[in-house]
Amino acid sequence: MYFDFKVLVFIFLWLLLPKCSFSQSFWFGAKAGAAMNFQSWGDGSNGGSINRNPLFNINGDLILESYDEFKKGALYVQLGFHTRGSSVRFNSFNNVFSTQQGFKFKNIVLEAGAKKAFNLDKEFTTYFILGIRGEYTVGTNLDDYLTFGSLYYPVNDYVKKINYGVTLGGGFETYLSEMSNVFIEFSMQPDISLQYQQPPLNNVIEPFTGQVVNLGLRQVRNLSLELKVGARFLRKVEFID
């Protein structure tokens, strides 16, 4: 499945890049905004009782998009930096104190997809996007928890550095001029692959209570909800006979 996905991404980019080549008109720009990140943790019966909370952060992308002059649909490719993850709130054994800790996975994201725009009036346009993503994890904050000396926390040894998923979303854009526009975009980005996979572990010390627990198989997938604002600029090529 992993090999098939790489082949699919290669074919998709091979078909896309000529559409956005420098011999044709195309849009370029950037977008950034807030992300609410979730993770599903398949911890097994013991660890599964821990409540995973969202992790909030700012993500950004650079965009290249084909010129959709006749509103038949466009292709796009974008490269960005996204932090995936989740957070957990721990309570002490006697509920004297509580603390919230976040697990962050810092990913370089390459995404390619299709965009379909619909005119509502002369100044206001809505659009939908569907894309596929490939991600590479360049760093985490998991070493921050090594001081607890417990495999109860995730560790870098079990991080899956290469991940992939899909993007579904849409937005609204308005033209500032013939050569530029601004937009607001919402997207949902579920992963298909695993961000983290740790085998079952026995006799692990839970750092807040000191109890010995057995951890089931940990399989972690990412899901991000993003709200971004951005700007695009048109490089327009005109052919004159």
Q: What does the pLDDT profile of the chain (241 residues) look like in tens digits?
A: 344 555 555 555 555 555 555 447 888 999 999 999 999 887 644 444 455 889 999 999 999 999 877 778 899 999 999 999 998 876 555 555 556 789 999 999 999 999 998 876 667 889 999 999 999 999 999 999 888 777 788 999 999 999 999 999 999 999 888 889 999 999 999 999 999 999 998 888 877 777 888 888 889 999 999 999 999 999 876 556 5
Task: Choose among 76, 75, 95, 69: nearest CA to 31.
Answer: 76
Report d(CA 197, CA 224) in Å as an integer.
19
pLDDT at 175: 85
In a domain, 197, yes or no: no
Distance of CA 12 to the CA centre of its chain: 19
In a domain, 111, yes or no: yes
Range(s) of the domain holding residue 40: 2-87+103-185+216-235
Report d(CA 57, CA 34) in Å as an integer.
6
In a domain, 208, yes or no: no
In a domain, 171, yes or no: yes
In a domain, 195, yes or no: no
Q: What is the pTM of this model?
A: 0.82
pLDDT at 214: 84
Provide the 8-state DSSP code for 206: P
pLDDT at 25: 81
The tokens of 59 are what?
Answer: 């993500």
In a domain, 160, yes or no: yes
Report d(CA 164, CA 181) in Å as an integer.
30
Task: Choose among 143, 166, 154: nearest CA to 222.
Answer: 166
pLDDT at 111: 96
Tell me if residue 4 falls in helix, strand or coil. helix
pLDDT at 45: 45
Q: Which residues have a Cβ under 8 Å from the Cβ of 121 and sit 6 or more positions away?
A: none
Task: Choose among 165, 194, 168: nearest CA to 115.
Answer: 168
> Number of folded domains in the chain?
1
Tell me if residue 16 falls in helix, strand or coil. helix
Planar angle of CA 82, 84, 90, nearest 5 degrees: 145
pLDDT at 93: 56
In a domain, 205, yes or no: no
In a domain, 240, yes or no: no
CATH at residue 177: 2.40.160.20
